[in-house]
Chain A
């Protein structure tokens, strides 16, 4: 089985940097995904990590440490439109390696 933990809520200021952490305990691992989801909308893909280290994509970066079962999503130069839920998901290698198990999401509020 999979257990994924992330903070429920975070608040940050426009223009600042915020780090959203995710820890996981899994029987297997085949990649970690971060998604952004605005209220009432579909989750949209942000990043994918399968090897240790940092992946950078514009204002968003994601880090993975497989030995620690830990990832974070770093958002720089925060904008009001970044207010959303951020979902951490781990891919389960069993059953063909395609099932994503999601955390409950971190609701980020960006304030002026």
Chain B
């Protein structure tokens, strides 16, 4: 296992279009997190899954955002009707349990909305 994988690495889309990102966590990790990071800022929490259950969502996650983790394996994050303010790096992380050994982050998907 080579870590947390995210696809695509880069996405450029026109305002108003829908986009979907995929995250494949480390296989034995039961917890999966989505974060968003803008330039010069730390990552901001979006949502968290334990297995297939979405247990927490940030207020940052508007109705245009939806995340799923079918079968408790990979996860998708969809943004509908994208806005320029959605431009950011979207990071996925996974952990075993509460992650005392650290949360492992993927390399992220950089979204640019034009």
Contact = CB atoms under 8 A, between A and B. Distances in A.
Using C-beta atoms within 8 Å of the partner chain, give the interface range for chain A. Answer: 20 to 34
Give the dominant DSSP class at B's interface. Answer: loop
Interface residues of B, number: 27
A3 interface: no
A101 B40 CA distance: 15
A57 to B, nearest CB: 11
A98 B56 contact: yes
Interface string A84-112: 00010101000111111111110000000
Nearest to B48: A98
B42 A105 contact: yes
A104 B40 contact: yes
Interface stretch (B11-19, B69-77, B97-105): B97-105
Interface of B: 4, 31, 33, 40-45, 48, 50, 55-56, 58, 91, 95, 98-108
